[in-house]
Each structure stands twice: as structure tokens, then as C-alpha cells.
Structure 1
Amino acid sequence: MEKWTLRARKEIWFVPSLYALASIILTAIIISIDTVFADSVQNYLPKVFFTNVDLSTTILSSIATAILTMTTISFSTIMVVLTTYSSQFSPRTLQDFMTEKTTLRVLGVFVGSFIYTVSSLLFMKDWLDDQRVLASGVGVILAVICVGYFVFFIHHVARSIQVSKLIERLMKEGLISLKKKKLLYKAEKITFETLQAPTDYTETKELQPKATGYIQVIDMEGLTKEAKEHGFHLVLKKRIGDFVTERSTIATVYFTKKPSKELDVTAYIEVGEERTPLQDAEFALQKLAEVALRAISPGINDPNTANNCIRYMSRLLIEFGEVDAEAISYLDENKDQRVTIPQRTFQEILYTAFYQIRIYGERDISVVLTILECLILTAEGSEKAIRNNIKEMYEFLVGSIKEDYFEPLDVKKIEEKKAVLEGLLK
């Protein structure tokens, strides 16, 4: 399912195409009513919806022009938003706006309504002059819907370019991916393991991807069923989000019986030109870190935005701590391990979250204090085992703080944060 979701999200035309198809069906229905069932339908619908052909042509022409204008303005607005996302936040956040359901739905409504009005005009023939038609009434309804969506879209765009909304949305992207793992664990469909090769097998086979790019999604459910049917255990050597080439070894298949020559499990692994947060919660964390880095750059110089990103990162780090393991194994109905995929440990995730921010924010007292605050928030929401990992990162970060850069009052604030964190990590 996630593989098809990814493909639908990658193709921006997909959702508008569905609306266009629906508009063609609607056009066929309305034209059938106007040409075949007009007399009987007029007895059941209000007379106000029916007009003569001349008036209907005028109304539909005006609606088509207005919808095309709204669509043009919407596309222009989208370009402005994309420019803002790329220059102010991060190029990786562009896909977040373009693949949002709201954006695609608005474009779909505009495209579908325009197709309906133009198609209806095509069927406004001279031989209908003596007959009242429904097409313009439906067109007016669609025009009102388009106006409503247009106002909603302007409101949506105004909210989307607010950095606080973007940060919250990035956090939720990561949470969705992490909570899916927790639900699978509670349902006993996965286990958290150390990464190791199976011992009971007759033959092995190494797999290479069919393309160069990032591992975007893996159809774990399909792979698990395939592994049970053909009797093998698949151990991936690359994580979701890793960059691979056609010559990279991404997995090893351990067969427990003679393998089938027609077996092709690479079809379950999607490799594309960019990372996606569908199964890659670390990507959401990376985007938060990138927004923070862009905010503290000399060109933008907005440390408050960076601090907001770092605080929201703490919520993701708490969830990462709850699924901490070297690898995840997917189980079949008999609870046998079928697919094992490596993942970064909580210690590695902590390092990935802060190693760049630590360098570029080392002279900004507010960033240093917020990093310590983030560790405090993470420690407060984590269990004892996770706090030990936080302690190692704390020692790494504290060792890199150069107190010579700061005034005595700044150092005092740092010591206060350190005292609180040390109390939690005892």
C-alpha cells in the first residue's frame, strides 16, 4: 500500500486526473439528462436550475473563464510558496507542500470544473434551442464550490508559509512513521533485534537494485508473504533512506529450500531520486535540522526559528528512543522471521540530529541553551535505558561547548541547564 501511496504522491497529476475523470462522468450524465430525460427530470428538480441554450452558453462561458483565472492565480501562488520554501526553509521541504492533500484537491476541483464547463459548451447545439437544459445550473453550483475552494486555498497558503506550521507538519510526518512501527510491534508483526545473519540456510543470493537513488519504501507485507511462500529469509544491508547504485548490494537472501528461478524480490523495493518520510522518520528529523541550520545562517539570522525546530526535535527523539534497536525483523503468521532490515540506533540518531547544529550554532548562546533544553525534554520523556544514550550525547555536546565565546552570565545559564540535565541522567 505504501508503495502505491508513494507513486501517487510523486505524480502531482494523479489526483487532478481523478477529478478530471469524475468531471467527464458528470458531464456525460448531465448531457444525457438534457438530451434524453429532460422532460421527466424537470418535474423533480427546481425550475431555477434550468435555462435556455443561449443563457446556458453565456453562463458556462463566463464560468470557464473565471475558473481558468482562479487556476492561474493558484498556480502562481504555488510558485511563490515553493520559492519561499526553497530559499527560506530547505529545498527538501518543497515536496511537503506540493504533495499535500489540500493542494492537490484544490487543483483537482479547478481542473475538473473547467473540463465540465468546456465539455458542456460543446454539447450546446442548435437543436436544443426549444428545450431548457440543466448544464448551466450544475455549472453554477461547481462555480460556487470553486470559489469556496479558492478562498480556502488562499487561507491554506497563508498558513503554510508560517514556519511554525511547517515545523509542526515535519514533526508529525516523522511521528506517523514511528507510530506505525510501534503498532506493528504491539500486534506482534515485528520484533526488535540485533543485526545478524540466519544460521539455517542452504543457499544465499545477493541482490542489487534496478536503479540509482535513495531507498524510498519497501513493501514489507508483500516481502514477508513472498518469503514464506518461497522459503527464504531476506536480510537487508541498507537502511531505508540510504543512497544506492545499481552495483550496490542491498540485501542477501538466505534460502531454506531450493530457490525459484523466477523469484524477483527487488520489485518490492522502491528506489527513487529523493528520500520520502513514508517509512523514513529520520528524513523528517533531517528536514527539521536543515530548517534550523538555514535559520541560523548569516544570510537569514533567525535563531528563534532554529530554537523552535530543536524543541520539536525532542518529540521525535522520544519516539525514536521507544523503537531503539539495530534491526527490525518482520514476522509471518507463524512468528518466523522473514525480513530483517537494519536501522540506526538511538545513539546514531542523536548524533545525526545535532552534529551540524552543534558546529554552526556553537557561538549562539540561545542555540546552545536550546540544545541542552532539547536533551532535557527528551530525557524527561524517556526510560532509563534511553537516558544512558542521552548521557553519552550530553558528554559529547558539553565537551564541544567553548565557554570562552560567552560572557559570565551566559556561562551561568549553561551551567543551570547542565545541572538539570545531569539530575535527570543520574
Structure 2
Amino acid sequence: MSWNRWYGIKSYLRSTLWVVPFIALLFYVMVIQVVDWINARFIVIPLWPWGTPGAQRILETIVTLTLTFIVFTFGSLLVAIQVASGQLSPRIIATALLRDNVIRTTVGIFIFTLLFSVGVLGRLEAEAPFFLVGIAGILGFASLIAFLYLIDHAARLLRPVSIVQRIGDLGCDVIEKVYPDLFDGHDSHTDSRRTINLPDRTIPHRGKSGVILAVNLKGLVKEAQRFGLVIELPHFVGSFLESGEPLFRLYGDIAKIEERRFPQNVAIGPERTIERDPTFAFRIIVDIAIKALSKAINDPTTAVLAVDQLNRLLRKVGERRLHGDQAFDKSGQLRLILQTPNWEDFVQLAVREIRFYGAENFQVARRLRAMLENLLKTLPEARHPTLRTELDLLADAVKTIHVLPADLALASIADPQGLGAGLSHRV
């Protein structure tokens, strides 16, 4: 199986809800056979104390309850997800909600309990098997507890603070995965956002139009070394790629290349995913912030919560050594040119739109200033120029919007809470 197909399968499985219930079904097929065998050979008390009618009523009650739990869970959860995505961002559905292990595991418990109870119900004869009915009763009780826990968990999960916190956690994990090395004072980033010369050959994208999800850098370097080439990938991870658009530009001897091997190292899907795309975490949180700042919603506190997570993500990126636009083989020969975000890209993505839409709001202006000043204090000196540029732009925007001296003074205070804990108020 090619790398891009395998990556697509893994990415799909991470963001689907049906996989755990399907595993529960397969697990039931094995478990019911095992416990039936144990019950027939080793259980000393084989009879259910209340007889077959009592066991049947208990099992039917468990089946009814689990069916109700499943219908209620899926129905209410879908409605809640739609409401939350409408208020925050549609990108949170696949990125945060469908990846929640509590939801997936709970639904798996419901499915397993339902199937097990139906299986035991079908095995009832003149004498009810105590062991099997007892296990079904325990599973039914566990399903009831899981259902109550799921209601509480879902209520907490769908709050804005929980959503942005979850996206922030995912973003930090991706940043650590994509940028494993700590910042040593300089990045290996170079200005390769251009072709080195006219390519000897261009390989177009021959599949369906979609978004670049991930790139197998090691695989491309290996292929380039194998054929003695330099490969250029003129697109960022997360960029939309149309069918027929150039996917690779090749430089070198192209006489013996196998064209089909190159596209296998690029995973393409219908929408961006967060696994190998650190900027996507920033994009989702910024979307939540600017939607909260719209006149129709007018929720600056949610925007402040979003800036809290952006502060966290920017610090994480600032502490990491960012990738260069060039990749080399083991001998030091240039083999791959690709588009990667630099420090300025991350900072501008995190700050510019929120400043544009939120500078007129005291909470947002003060929280942005506190974030930038905090990063100036905690990140290495090499990261400071971009942060100072954004701080100056924020000051200019605040001066332009707030014409009253008192308002300007209030909006110019750095405040980690937005409005209520300004640094000037501290003793």
C-alpha cells in the first residue's frame, strides 16, 4: 500500500465515529462465544434465581434502555454539534468533536451491551443461564452510568472554553511532532518560495481536486536521490490543489524516472486536517475568535479565550526550530524544495485578523497586547522583531479607533484577562 493511501486511511479513522462501535460488534462475537463456553463448563450455579421469565424481563429492559441511549446520544449529539459549529466554527466537528474518545467509547459500550443482551436473550431456554444474565445486568448498569457521564461530558465539551482548549491541545501536539527540535537561535528556513530555474519536467496532479494533507519528506528525498533529481513541491501543506495543476517540478536527468512514484508521497483529501498541519490549529482558533467578534454574535469573551490558546501555541512554535524550505540527503546534496511556514507566517496568522476585527473592543485589544508583551519576555531575541511589528500595528490601530483620551488609555493597557486585570492596576 502506498504512503498516501495509508496516511488517508489513518486520518479517516481518527475522525470517524463508527469505528469503535464496529470494533464493539467484533468484540461481542468473540466474547459471547467465550462466556457461553465458560458458563457451560465451569459455572457451579447455572440457574438464574428468578427464573426464565425474570431473566427475560431484565434482558428486554436492558435492550430497551441501550436502544434509547443510542438513539438519544446520536440525535442530541448531532443537534448539539450543529449548534456549536454554527456558533464557533464548522471545522471543530471533525477536528475536535468526532475525535473525542469519551463519545466514541461510550457509544461502543452501548453497542456491545445491546448485542450481548440480545445474544443472551436468544439463549434463554427452560433454565436461564445465571452467568450470562449476570454479565448482561452488569453491562446494563455500566451503560446507565456511561450515559449519565456522557451527558455531563458533552455539556462540558461543547462550551467554547473546552473547544478552544481541545484545539490548543491538538495544536501543541502537532507542533511538537512536526518541529521536534528546540530553537537554537536560528531557523533553517530559507527563501525558496520561487523556482531555482526552469524545471526539466512538471508532474501535474492527476487525481481529484483536494487539499494537501501531508507530505512524506523522507520518501520524496529518497526518490530524488534514487533518480539524481531535485524535486520542488510548490504548495504548502493545507493548500487546495486542482486537478491538472503542477504538483511537482523536477530538475535534473528525467529520462529514467517513474512518474507514478512521486504523487504517492503526497496525501490529498477533501478538507484540511490537523495531524501534519500546525497552521490549521491557528486557523480554527482565529476563526472562532473573529466569529465571536462579529456584530451578529458580539462575544468578545470567547475571543479572549481564543487569544489565550493562541498565546500558548505561539510560545510553543517560538520555542521550536522551524523547518527550512530545503531538504538534503545524507551526503548534503539538495534534493527537495518545498513551501513551509516561517515564524512571521505564524504570528501574522494569529494576530492580524483578530486585530482587524477586534481592535475596537477593549477586551481584545488589551488581551492581544498582553499576549505580545508576554511573548517578548519569554521567547528568544530572534523572535522579537515580528512581535514588535505586531505590537506597533496594534498600538496604531487602537489610536485610530479610540479618539477619546480616556478610552485610548484604557485600550492601551496590557491585560491578560481582557478587561479587569490590567498591569497598571497592580501594586
Q: Do they superpose with TM above 0.5? A: yes
Q: CA RMSD in A?
A: 3.3
Conserved? CA contact 2:46–2:130, under 8 Å: no
Aligned to 1:424: none
Task: Decide which of 171, 175, 188 is 2:172's aligned counterpart.
Answer: 175
- Provide closer, same or farther for how the CA distance between residues 179 and 137 of structure 1 changes in structure 2, counting only shifts above 3 A: same
Aligned to 1:422: none
With normalisation by structure 2, the TM-score equals 0.83
Letter in 1 for 2:116: Y
Q: Is the 8 A contact 2:189 2:342 kept in 1?
A: no
Per-residue deviation, 1:355? 2.6
Name 2:419's counterpart in structure 1.
Answer: none
Q: Which runs of 5+ in 2 are unaligned?
A: 1-5, 416-427
Distance 1:98 1:404, change over 3 A: closer
Give distance in 2, aligned partners of 1:119 and 1:304.
51
Deviation at 1:86, TM superposition (A): 1.8
Quick one: structure 1 residues 138 and 273, their matched pair in 2 at CA, closer, same or farther if it must change by over 3 Å? same
What are the residue-to-residue correspondences of 1:244-263 with 2, within 5 Å? 244-254=241-251, 259-261=256-258, 263=260
Over residues 365-408 of structure 1, what are the superposed CA-to-partner deviations in whole Å (9 max), with x where a residue is unaligned?
Answer: 22222221121122222111110121222333333334453431
Deviation at 1:362? Answer: 3.0
Asked if the contact 1:326–1:343 (Cα under 8 Å) also holds between the matched residues in 2, the reply is yes
Q: In structure 1, the residue corresponding to 2:80 is in which secondary structure?
A: helix
* Residue aligning to 2:420: none
Report the AA paired with residue 118 of structure 1.
V
2:385 is matched with 388
Task: Please name the residue that 1:421 is paired with.
Answer: none
Q: Which amino acid aligns with 1:104?
A: R
1:19 corresponds in structure 2 to 24
| Distance in structure 1 (CA, Å) of the matches to 2:90 and 2:70 | 25
Measured after TM superposition, the shift of residue 211 of structure 1 is 1.9
Local SS of the residue matching 1:250? strand
| Sequence identity (%) | 21
Shift in CA distance, 203/366, structure 1 to aligned 2, threshold 3 Å: same
What is the distance in 2 between the residues matched to 1:84 and 1:146? 26
Does residue 140 of the first structure (1) align with residue 137 of the second (2)? Answer: yes
Aligned position for 1:121? 121
2:425: which partner in 1? none
Tell me the TM-score normalized by structure 1. Answer: 0.83
Contact 2:366 2:412 in 1 (8 A): no
Deviation digits for residues 12-49 of structure 1, max 9, x if unmatched? 21222111111122123234445xxx1x3114xx6687
C-alpha change, 1:247 and 1:205, in structure 2 (3 Å) is closer
Matched, 1:161 2:158: yes
1:267-318 residue CA offsets vs partner (Å, 9 max, x unmatched)? 3322222211111111111111111112222222221221221132111112
Q: Distance in 2 between matches of 1:49 and 1:363?
A: 71
Q: Distance in 2 between matches of 1:255 and 1:54?
A: 80
**Once the 2 structures are TM-superposed, how far is the Cα of residue 341 of structure 1 from its aligned partner?**
3.3
The residue identity in structure 1 corresponding to 2:286 is: A
Change (3 A) 1:2 1:410: farther
Once the 2 structures are TM-superposed, how far is the Cα of residue 181 of structure 1 from its aligned partner?
Answer: 2.5
Residue type of the alignment partner of 2:58: I
Per the TM alignment, residue 122 of structure 1 is displaced from its structure 2 partner at its CA by: 3.1
Distance in 1 between residues matched to 2:308 and 2:361, nearest whole Å: 16
Instruction: Answer yes or no: is the 8 Å Cα contact 1:21–1:112 preserved in 2.
Output: no
> Does the 8 A contact of 1:50 with 1:137 survive in 2?
no
Question: 3-state SS of the aligned residue for 1:401?
Answer: helix
Alignment of 1:306-385 (within 5 A): 306-323=303-320, 325=322, 327=324, 339-385=336-382
**Residue type matched to 1:175 in 2?**
C
- In structure 2, the partner of 1:41 is 42
Equivalent residue number for residue 67 of structure 1: 66
Q: Which residue of 2 aligns with 1:276?
A: 273
Deviation of the 1:326 alpha carbon: 6.9
Contact 2:178 2:276 in 1 (8 A): no
1: CA distance between counterparts of 2:260 and 2:323? 28
CA–CA distance in 1 between the matches of 2:193 and 2:356?
A: 35
8 Å contact kept, 1:113–1:142: yes
Distance 1:145 1:218, change over 3 A: farther
Per-residue deviation at 1:248? 2.0
After superposition, the Cα gap between the structure-2 partners of 1:390 and 1:325, relative to the gap in structure 1 and judged at 3 Å, is: same
Structure-2 separation of matches of 1:130 and 1:417: 75
Q: Distance in 1 between matches of 2:300 and 2:324?
A: 36
Q: Do the aligned partners of 2:203 and 2:259 also contact (CA within 8 Å) in 1?
A: no
